[in-house]
């Protein structure tokens, strides 16, 4: 729907998507909340007074008085973006971190003994009677140094037409997902769309109601966690190279995983329901799931199953799968991403 609106307003071929504007919002808010007056006036349309009102409302009057040291503003930015932590926001959404760092360094106090200044520059530079001098304050006044100055160096930047990255047809699915997350490439690729949908389906607490509910956030989070758990593209087998009977078992297992699996921390949960006679009211088999998944596991990985069959006396009747490597480390998040890579390539499987 948003793409139709953008096409109507901007014309076809504009290159913008809804998530492009999420990135823009993240960077504008980061500058407005964390940047100096010069940076805000240069890179955003916010006024300095408007930024101060936002900071006062969000951080509180007490925090404003100690603005140089407060840290919860980063967490607040992540919360506004709907991210679990600032690492996700900083890694994939904030494209002005280097400017924010330089801006902060430039405006931090740089205290130095006045005798040191006299010794190096053969000039007192200041008529103050204090022994400790803030060199940054002198630089910003521009009285003695003719080099970088924020109010001179920063200039308004004209908007530029977004450049589409070069797209290659002969590329693996893991590379496509990586390039989408890292460089915003392949945004309209079917594998990208299916991966966002499946990741949201597995991770989201509430069941998505329409396509606009399938954001990239869950995919990015799962991808980053999989990398931390040791994901490598070579861990993915070629399903089409397996014997036909095995392919059938694998596809059945992936179908069950897609439809019924929920990723919770380091486990994949499967909800069991029972009728009045305490018979399982499910149309799938946990044994078929396990049999098919084993063909896709790396050699050093073992599948572990808990609460099978489910304890009917307990309120939570869930079967839990986890995956353990040879070092006895839980790699469920890595294996889940591998299963996602396999699933999105199978057009026969509905996601």
The full DSSP string for 5-17 is: HHHHHH-TT----
| pLDDT value for 315 | 64
Write the DSSP assignment of 201-245 as a string of letters. HHH-SSPP-SGGG--SHHHHHHHHHHHHTT--GGG---GGGS-HH
Say how far apart CA 46 and CA 41 lie, in whole Å.
7
This prediction has a pTM of 0.57
On whether the CB atoms of residues 218 and 203 are closer than 8 A, the answer is yes
Instruction: Find residue 324's DSSP bridge partners.
Output: 302, 330
- pLDDT at residue number 247: 94
Q: 193-234 pLDDT, tens per residue?
A: 999 999 999 987 666 666 555 778 889 889 988 988 888 888
- Dihedrals φ, ψ of 163, to 5°? -95, 120
Exposure letters 123-159 (e unless 16+ CB within 10 A, then b): eeebeeeeeebbbbebbbeeeeeeeeebeeebeeeee
Residue 147: per-residue pLDDT: 43
Q: How confident is the model over 247-258, as a mean pLDDT? A: 94
pLDDT value at 287 more than 80: yes
Query: Does residue 56 register a pLDDT over 90?
Result: no
Contact 52, 34 (CB under 8 A): no
Query: Which residue bears the tokens 């953008």?
Result: 6
Q: Is the model more confident about 321 or about 275?
A: 321
Burial (CB count within 10 angstroms: exposed 0-12, middle 13-18, buried 19+), residue 197:
buried
What pLDDT score was predicted for residue 280? 65
In the predicted model, is pLDDT for residue 255 greater than 80? yes
Predicted confidence band at 185 (pLDDT cuts at 50, 70, 90)?
confident
Q: Exposed, middle or buried, 256 (CB in 10 Å: 0-12/13-18/19+)?
A: buried
Residue 252 pLDDT exceeds 90: yes
Share the mean pLDDT of the chain.
80
* pLDDT at residue number 63: 62
Of 191 and 312, which is predicted with more confidence?
Answer: 191
pLDDT in tens, 125-174: 555 567 777 766 666 555 444 444 444 444 444 444 445 455 556 678 88
Q: Where are the domains of the chain?
A: 1-104, 109-163, 165-351
């Amino acid at each position: 729907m948003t793409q139709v609106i953008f096409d109507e307003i901007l014309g076809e071929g504009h290159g913008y998507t809804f998530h492009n504007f999420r990135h823009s919002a993240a960077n504008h808010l980061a500058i407005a909340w964390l940047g100096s007056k010069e940076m805000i006036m240069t890179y955003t349309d916010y006024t300095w007074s408007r930024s101060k009102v936002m900071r006062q409302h969000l951080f509180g009057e007490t925090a404003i008085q100690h603005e140089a040291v407060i840290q919860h503003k980063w967490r607040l930015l992540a919360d506004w973006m709907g991210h679990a932590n600032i690492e996700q926001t900083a890694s994939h959404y904030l494209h002005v971190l280097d400017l924010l760092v330089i801006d902060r360094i430039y405006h931090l106090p740089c205290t130095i003994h006045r005798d040191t200044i006299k010794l190096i520059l053969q000039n007192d530079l200041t008529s103050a009677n204090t022994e400790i001098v803030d060199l940054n304050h002198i630089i910003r006044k521009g009285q003695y140094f003719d080099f970088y100055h924020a109010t001179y160096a920063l200039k308004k930047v004209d908007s530029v037409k977004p450049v589409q990255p070069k797209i290659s047809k002969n590329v693996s699915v893991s590379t496509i997902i990586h390039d989408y997350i890292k460089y915003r490439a392949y945004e309209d690729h079917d594998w990208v769309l299916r991966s966002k949908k499946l990741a949201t389906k597995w991770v989201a607490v509430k069941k998505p109601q329409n396509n606009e509910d399938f954001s990239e956030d869950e995919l990015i989070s799962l991808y980053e966690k999989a990398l931390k758990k040791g994901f490598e593209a070579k861990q993915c087998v070629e399903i089409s190279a397996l014997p036909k009977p095995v392919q059938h078992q694998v596809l059945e297992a992936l179908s069950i995983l897609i439809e019924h699996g929920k990723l919770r921390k380091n486990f994949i949960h499967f909800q069991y329901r029972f009728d009045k006679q305490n018979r399982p009211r499910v149309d799938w088999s946990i044994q078929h799931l396990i049999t098919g998944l084993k063909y896709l596991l790396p050699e050093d990985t073992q599948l572990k199953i808990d609460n099978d069959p489910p304890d009917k006396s307990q309120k939570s009747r869930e079967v839990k799968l986890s995956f353990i490597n040879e070092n006895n480390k839980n790699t469920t998040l890595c294996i889940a991403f591998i299963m996602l890579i396999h699933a999105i390539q199978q057009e026969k499987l509905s996601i």
